Chain A
């Protein structure tokens, strides 16, 4: 007689009942074996409802389900949750009890497919790709093949939810990476997107796009992961890529593991946005490496920023419509090296306010903490802190942003600490070299240092020293002097400075006290009292 699960179950139940009837007589009876019945679900698709799992044991005892592939699927009770495409393996187990031996575990596997479109190489042109992107449904993944493909115009996505655009890699090998080349495009911009709720760009490259390589506006939950935006040929002379990775007017932004090279403005530019994390990117050959502009709640950490004109910028500029201010930004644990590239002849606009050879620059922003960075080899200075007034940025004091605020040109609440700064300030550039700007000051300052004699260098951290008379106190009628209280102060303290050779004075900080300097006075150096302070700024939280 062939015993089915059911008949086994029936027999064993009878047997258990008989034992119970004997009144627990010495526990002499041996536990019985049991088995598990667990059928594999059919192939699943991401985004579609997942089935409820069902597994039973011949003993009637409850079966426990566990995912062996939590990256693909998870299970809680009998509820299956699909995490990503791949093979999902679920193991059913029953550990037994006094009456039943543990059952042999049963594992089942099934495929989880992505929803969306797998694009064939034949469709890798802007006309066909735009048709695919237009037809994409909420929740879709559009998968791009390896290869280098020429685009004549921008790719566009707008007004969708939960969209993933994924290639095979962001490297430079067309046999295994996905490369979208805009070298021969008729109009500017690479990938131009708007009004997306939850979008991920992953594992592809955008090459030689004029304008913006990857532009995302008016969106939320934006992830740029393992992307490359690059002007491939002689960017200093020929690039017309304004921005590389460019989320703007958006919320909840993650830019990570990406490469941006050769833009004429900022490589990674996040503007007019909130809740931002820029981490672990390699950014070089741009005018500005990473720029957080007119934004709130941003963390810039763990990036490798090198060979740009300026490394990492935290700016508030006049002009934008959503926010006219920048506040609550942390720049930490980045490697910022050799950002001395002259801005290309065709660079334009406010980006030219960056003195070449500036590691990090904080302009007219509020509550900015710069710490734990390694900042090496910058001709002007390691960290430059300035108002828009010193930068001679003109603005209309009547123009309001969408929050009803006017532009505020002053810098407040900056704390620079615990950075490792070396090889700085030997050849100040930009306004500090301009004969009609601060060039004469620099010459005079260096002459003074030479007379001491001390090394002719700018310090590791330089503040323009301008205090807002309205929110500070004690500012002189000519604009010099004054102090901020509490968390409005500009502080730089506890940095690990490698001073220039032969220095006996501190080269950590200089408080330029610009209005005094312009009136023929002196900067506050070395060891400026106004910068000798610490801050306890509110935590910057909320990033993806």
Chain B
């Protein structure tokens, strides 16, 4: 056992929480050594320490893609102590009002902004993060009991957890994706796949297929192949304004996605934009009044149109926009376009697909047939799996039951005239 883990806790002002906290162990395993001791002493429940003197926290190390280390631990983005993974306090955790569906994976997202710099706020589009920033997204699942030793059993649940840590007793880490704003201003995506021993993750630019079994609370489980995207696939979605190439852009961090309350832990619960502003990480933000806000897919108090726009924007528009990888289809599912009254065909209403679109079923003529979800190709492709049918084409091998129900309800209540038979 590395001595570092046995030294006294190293408290400092946790940047994300604006509160003092204690970290029972050194950052990540690089410091902990991964000594394999099965009897690691549990971190003592840490009373608030008096920081005398305040030690300097170990800052994350941000790499350009060309210099990316093979192990995630070298970035110092988080640490594992005992059975808890905790983000480096220099990272700010966040989530999104409505997120990309990834086969029910939970996600712990975090932003790192280098010291002294700030994110340029904008009401529209992706927030402009400074060079040296990183977006860090860890995909993980609640553990489950499976039926097949060849597949990793994971539970089918809807994530509610927030905070800045993951309890590894009850969860299995799958991958951590890093989007880094490189020295030349470009973004690069780097997928790290967690090792079987769950102690560190390994850079896997070629991607990886992982056999899994998704176990619901009740009913039969389903086996699927979890696909860690390769670096090319990252680009297909993240080059959302250049047909799947060229400039990579983050998708999630837009004001309307971030404008929500988050429980940062330690009793800090506040709006994410306000929190970034309080941390002096946001420039040009003038307060929540007038800031756009996306609906949550699951928030039934919100209008269906707002929930559908939010879901289709986050799950489809990175390709289905006028400059995206699926622009040739003419189906444009951006937040601002969905529901537009003048060009209803461009968001699918009574739009004949330009190409065969793989429903394999008669009766499906139009992308959206108002009032008739059961003849709308858009819903068909959201509610089926298989190589010829699945949309989105990246990142989904199982059906998102909650979203299918919501999108179906939305199509059912659309007021546009139904399409010609």
A156 at the interface (CB under 8 A from B): yes
Chain B residue nearest to A127 in the complex (CB): B206
CB distance from B103 to the nearest CB of A (A): 12
B259 at the interface (CB under 8 A from A): no
Contact A127 B207 (CB under 8 A): yes
B222 at the interface (CB under 8 A from A): no
B329: chain A residues within 8 A (beta carbon): 319
| Interface residues contributed by chain A, number (CB under 8 Å) | 59
A386 at the interface (CB under 8 A from B): no
A10 at the interface (CB under 8 A from B): no
B182 at the interface (CB under 8 A from A): no
Contact A271 B328 (CB under 8 A): yes
A186 at the interface (CB under 8 A from B): yes
- Choose the segment among A130-138, A418-426, A481-489, A520-528 that binds chain B (4+ C-beta atoms closer than 8 Å): A130-138
Identify which of B230, B352, B397 contacts A127 (C-beta below 8 A).
B230
Chain B residue nearest to A349 in the complex (CB): B353
Contact A349 B328 (CB under 8 A): no
Assembly CA distance A402 to B321 (angstroms): 13
B245 at the interface (CB under 8 A from A): yes
Interface of A is mostly: loop
A4 at the interface (CB under 8 A from B): no
A320 at the interface (CB under 8 A from B): yes
B212 at the interface (CB under 8 A from A): no
Assembly CA distance A507 to B227 (angstroms): 59
B275 at the interface (CB under 8 A from A): no
CB distance from B167 to the nearest CB of A (A): 31
Interface string of A198-217 (1 = CB under 8 A from B): 00000000000011000001
B372 at the interface (CB under 8 A from A): no
Identify which of A130, A134, A217, A243 contacts B243 (C-beta below 8 A).
A217
B231 at the interface (CB under 8 A from A): yes
A131: chain B residues within 8 A (beta carbon): 205-206, 230-231
B172 at the interface (CB under 8 A from A): no
A240: chain B residues within 8 A (beta carbon): 356, 358, 360, 387-389
Assembly CA distance A249 to B324 (angstroms): 12
A194 at the interface (CB under 8 A from B): yes
Chain B, 293-340, CB within 8 A of any chain A CB: 322, 325, 327-330, 332
B194 at the interface (CB under 8 A from A): no
B232: chain A residues within 8 A (beta carbon): 130, 133-134, 156-158
Assembly CA distance A319 to B243 (angstroms): 17
A311 at the interface (CB under 8 A from B): no
Contact B343 A398 (CB under 8 A): yes
Chain A residue nearest to B330 in the complex (CB): A319
A218: chain B residues within 8 A (beta carbon): 242-245
B56 at the interface (CB under 8 A from A): no
A399: chain B residues within 8 A (beta carbon): 343, 345-346
Cβ contacts A to B, 18 pairs, < 8 Å:
A127-B208, A153-B227, A157-B232, A186-B227, A187-B390, A211-B393, A218-B243, A240-B387, A269-B355, A319-B329, A319-B345, A322-B328, A346-B361, A347-B356, A348-B353, A349-B355, A349-B356, A351-B355
Q: Which A residues are closer than 8 A to B by beta carbons? A: 127-128, 130-131, 133-134, 152-153, 156-159, 182, 185-189, 192, 194-195, 210-211, 217-218, 240, 242-243, 248-249, 263-266, 269, 271-272, 287, 293, 317-322, 345-351, 393-396, 398-399, 402
What 20 additional pairs, Cβ within 8 angstroms, besides A159-B235, A319-B354? A131-B206, A133-B232, A156-B235, A186-B225, A195-B242, A195-B243, A210-B388, A211-B387, A240-B388, A249-B327, A249-B328, A265-B356, A269-B355, A287-B356, A320-B354, A321-B332, A346-B361, A348-B377, A349-B354, A349-B355
Name the 3 nearest CB pairs between A and B, nearest first. A240-B388, A195-B245, A158-B245
